[in-house]
Amino acid sequence: MPKPSAAVETTANASLARRKAVADFSVKYAIYIVFMILIVGIAIKEPTFLSLTNFRNILSMSATRIIIALGVGGILISGGTDLSAGRQVGFAAVLSASLLQFQEYARRMYPNMPDLPLWLPIVGAIAACALFGLLNGAIIAYLKVPPFIATLGSMVAVYGVTSIYFDRPPYGAQPIGGLRKDFTNLGSGFVGFNDVWSIPFIVIIAIVIAVAVWVLHNKTRFGKNIYAIGGNPEAAKVSGVPVNKNLLLVYAFAGALYGLAGTLEAARTGGATNNYGNGYELDAIAACVVGGVSTSGGIGTVPGMLVGVLIFSIINYGLTFINMNPYWQQIIKGAIIIAAVALDIRKYLAKR
């Protein structure tokens, strides 16, 4: 039999190991624990919150945010950031909406233009935003401008471009409306029996994009390269990874996703203005960080990004559902963002 002192030491070690396991679990999943507490609190105050209709509404609201977060998430994984994402979304919304108004609309931006095929303005908006992203990548990769500064500058510039395009005669800076039914159907249409037992088209599109991005990140050389660049760009370069080329691609691909999200946002809301997308980049960055994407680069998953977006969407929808003061909503969201970043830094330091 072991000596009493040995038995006491074994028990103490086991207790210490259990406490460490609990602490590690709490650090790793603290945000999700807080999120579940919020959901339970909202459901207790307003039990009707937990309904299929609300869940469907939350998914519809989240769809474009998911696509934006997938673009931003890839950039964060590569060790960068993108403050121009929201303004690119706004540009895509304005461009696609201006080209997809129905013929009889009194304030049509291009009154003499024939109806274009639905896909053409959408592809045009995606391509334009991909070019914006490519420009961001070139400034960062070749001019060595820090991503924060480069994308801050492009955020301002893209907003200027959008505003110039938006504020054109004869009607000036008026909201763009009168969108064609085949276009708005992308944002409001659904597959199913009725409004409850159905899946919106916009959600299906977001799911397809999420699966495609997951494959890109996990099954392709490009995906492995962006993780390597985010983890250690110098080591990646020594290993033969074409760092500059991959940075161009990751920013251009993100821009294409912003373009798609912008067109879908215009279709979902039935219109567009030059202020569309304002602040979306901050929401996307926050959602990615809450979902486990490291601000230091090299770490992040597509499922985590999806969870992060859903967390913020449910918080926004749920707190509005129970009529909480919008200012308190901002305080809660801010606290969650700070906590997520603090936990991310703590995990990063623990691995060093």
Query: Which sequence spans correspond to the domains of the chain?
Result: 48-351
Helices H / strands E in the chain, number of each: 13, 2
Question: What pTM does this model have?
Answer: 0.90
DSSP 272: B
Task: Please give the share of the chain, as a percent, with pLDDT higher than 90.
Answer: 57
pLDDT digits (tens, 9 = 90+) for 38-76: 788 888 888 888 888 888 889 999 999 999 999 999 999
| pLDDT confidence band for 351 (50 / 70 / 90) | low
Strand positions, DSSP E, 193-303: 198-200
pLDDT digits (tens, 9 = 90+) for 65-122: 999 999 999 999 999 999 999 999 999 999 999 999 999 898 898 988 999 999 999 9
| Buried/exposed 257-290: b ≥16 CB within 10 Å, e otherwise | bbbbbbbbbbbbbebbbbbbbeebbebbbbbbbb
- Dist. CA 15–CA 9, nearest whole Å: 10
Residue 156 has a pLDDT of: 97
CATH number attached to the domain at 48-351: 1.10.3470
Angle made by CA atoms 66, 308, 183, in degrees to the nearest 5: 15
Least confident of 24-33, 45-54, 254-263, 286-295: 24-33
pLDDT digits (tens, 9 = 90+) for 234-245: 999 999 999 999
pLDDT reading at 267 higher than 90 = yes
